[in-house]
Chains A and B, each alone.
Chain A
Amino acid sequence: MADMKELANLVKELEDQLVTCIRCGMCQSVCPLFEQTRKEADVARGKLALLTGLMENMFTDPDGVNERLNRCLLCGSCAANCPSGVNVVEIFIKARAILAEYKGLSPAKKLIFRQLLAHPGRFDAMVDWAGRFQGLFAKPDANAQGTSCARLVSPLLSNRHFMPLSSNPFHKTLPEKGVTTPGSGPKAAIFIGCLIDKIFPGVAHASLKVLSHHNVGVVIPPGQGCCGIPSLASGDRDSFTRLVDHNLALFEKYDFDVLVTACATCTSTIKKLWPSVYKNPSPGMQKKLTALSEKTMDINQFLVDQVGIEPIETGLEDAEKEIVTYHDPCHLKKSLGVADQPRQVIRAAGCRLEEMAGSDKCCGMGGSFNVYHYDLSSAIGTLKEHNIEATGCTAVSTGCPACMMQISDMLGKAGASIRVRHPMELYARALEKLTP
Chain B
Amino acid sequence: MIQKSILEALQKIVGPPHLLTQKEDMLTYSYDAAVLDPVMPAAAVIPETKDQVGDIIALCAENQIPITVRGSGTNLSGGTIPYSSGIVLLTGRMNKIIEINEADMYAVVEPGVVTATLAAEVEKRGLFYPPDPGSMAVSTIGGNVAENAGGLRGLKYGVTKDYVMGLRFFDSQGNYIKTGSRTVKCATGYNITGLMVGSEGTLGILDQVILKLIPAPKARQAMVAVYDTIEQASETVAGIISARIVPATLEILDNFTIRAVEDFSKAGLPKDAAALLLIEVDGHPAVVTEEAEQVKALCLKMGARTIDQAKDDAQRDKIWAARRAALSALAQLKPTLVLEDATVPRSRIPDMVRALQDIAKKYRIDIGTFGHAGDGNLHPTILTDRRNKEEFYRVEQAIEEIFDVALSMGGTLSGEHGTGIAKAPFLEKEAGYSSILFSRQLRAALDPSNILNPGKITGV
Closest to B18 in A: A39
A residues near B (Cβ < 8 Å) are: 19-20, 22-26, 28-29, 38-41, 45-46, 49-50, 53, 58-59, 64-65, 68, 83-85
Encode B418-449 as 1/0 by CB contact (under 8 A) with A.
00000000000000000000000000000000
B residues near A (Cβ < 8 Å) are: 20, 22-25, 27-33, 38, 46, 72-74, 90, 92-93, 95, 114, 116, 135, 137-138, 327-328, 331-332, 335-337, 385-387
Is there an interface contact between A83 and B28, defined as CB atoms closer than 8 Å?
no
Partner of A85, one of B137, B138, B328, B336: B328
Partner of A20, one of B137, B335, B387: B335
Is there an interface contact between B332 and A25, defined as CB atoms closer than 8 Å?
no
Residues of B close to A46: CB separation below 8 A: 28
Chain A: minimal CB distance from B49 (Å): 16
Partner of B387, one of A19, A40, A85: A19
| CA of A29 to CA of B72, assembled, Å | 10
- Known pairs A19-B335, A65-B24. 8 more at Cβ < 8 A? A25-B33, A26-B137, A38-B93, A40-B73, A49-B38, A50-B28, A53-B27, A84-B337
Is there an interface contact between A41 and B25, defined as CB atoms closer than 8 Å?
yes
6 tightest CB-CB pairs across the interface, nearest first?
A38-B92, A83-B328, A46-B28, A29-B137, A40-B28, A64-B24
| CA of A41 to CA of B92, assembled, Å | 13
Is there an interface contact between A40 and B29, defined as CB atoms closer than 8 Å?
yes
Is there an interface contact between A26 and B31, defined as CB atoms closer than 8 Å?
no
Is there an interface contact between B331 and A84, defined as CB atoms closer than 8 Å?
yes
Closest to B387 in A: A19
Chain B: minimal CB distance from A337 (Å): 13
Is there an interface contact between B72 and A23, defined as CB atoms closer than 8 Å?
no
| CA of A39 to CA of B135, assembled, Å | 18
Residues of A close to B32: CB separation below 8 A: 23, 25
Is there an interface contact between B337 and A25, defined as CB atoms closer than 8 Å?
no
Given contact pairs A23-B33, A24-B33, A84-B337, A38 touches B90 in the complex (Cβ within 8 A): yes
Is there an interface contact between B23 and A22, defined as CB atoms closer than 8 Å?
no
Chain A: minimal CB distance from B380 (Å): 16
| CA of A40 to CA of B71, assembled, Å | 11
Residues of B close to A20: CB separation below 8 A: 332, 335
Main secondary structure of the interface of B (DSSP, over half): loop
Q: List 19 A-B contacts (CB under 8 A).
A: A19-B335, A19-B385, A19-B387, A20-B332, A24-B33, A25-B32, A26-B135, A26-B137, A38-B95, A40-B29, A41-B25, A45-B28, A49-B27, A49-B30, A59-B23, A65-B24, A68-B24, A84-B337, A85-B331
Closest to A81 in B: B137
Residues of B close to A85: CB separation below 8 A: 328, 331-332
Closest to B117 in A: A29
Is there an interface contact between A64 and B138, defined as CB atoms closer than 8 Å?
no
Is there an interface contact between B116 and A22, defined as CB atoms closer than 8 Å?
no
| CA of A228 to CA of B29, assembled, Å | 35
Partner of B138, one of A22, A23, A26, A58: A26
Residues of B close to A64: CB separation below 8 A: 22-24
Closest to B338 in A: A22
| CA of A49 to CA of B26, assembled, Å | 11
Chain A: minimal CB distance from B310 (Å): 23
Residues of A close to B74: CB separation below 8 A: 24-26
Is there an interface contact between B72 and A28, defined as CB atoms closer than 8 Å?
yes
Partner of B331, one of A39, A65, A83: A83
Is there an interface contact between B28 and A41, defined as CB atoms closer than 8 Å?
yes
User: Which of A39, A46, A50 counts the most B-chain CB atoms under 10 A from its CB?
Assistant: A39
Closest to A69 in B: B24
Is there an interface contact between B24 and A50, defined as CB atoms closer than 8 Å?
yes
| CA of A22 to CA of B93, assembled, Å | 25
Closest to B95 in A: A38
Is there an interface contact between A19 and B336, defined as CB atoms closer than 8 Å?
yes
Closest to B325 in A: A83
Residues of A close to B30: CB separation below 8 A: 49
| CA of A38 to CA of B386, assembled, Å | 29
Chain A: minimal CB distance from B27 (Å): 5
| CA of A224 to CA of B348, assembled, Å | 68
| CA of A25 to CA of B38, assembled, Å | 15
Residues of A close to B95: CB separation below 8 A: 38
Closest to B326 in A: A83
| CA of A40 to CA of B138, assembled, Å | 13
Closest to A17 in B: B335
Given contact pairs A19-B385, A20-B335, A84 touches B328 in the complex (Cβ within 8 A): yes
Chain B: minimal CB distance from A4 (Å): 13
Closest to B136 in A: A29
Closest to A25 in B: B74
Is there an interface contact between A22 and B328, defined as CB atoms closer than 8 Å?
no
Given contact pairs A38-B90, A84-B331, A84-B332, A25 touches B72 in the complex (Cβ within 8 A): yes
Residues of B close to A83: CB separation below 8 A: 327-328, 331
Given contact pairs A19-B385, A25-B74, A83-B331, A58 touches B33 in the complex (Cβ within 8 A): no
Residues of A close to B33: CB separation below 8 A: 22-25
User: Which of B32, B93, B135, B138 counts the most A-chain CB atoms under 10 A from its CB?
Assistant: B138
User: Which of B116, B337, B387 counts the most A-chain CB atoms under 10 A from its CB?
Assistant: B337
| CA of A178 to CA of B22, assembled, Å | 54
Residues of B close to A25: CB separation below 8 A: 32-33, 72-74, 135, 138
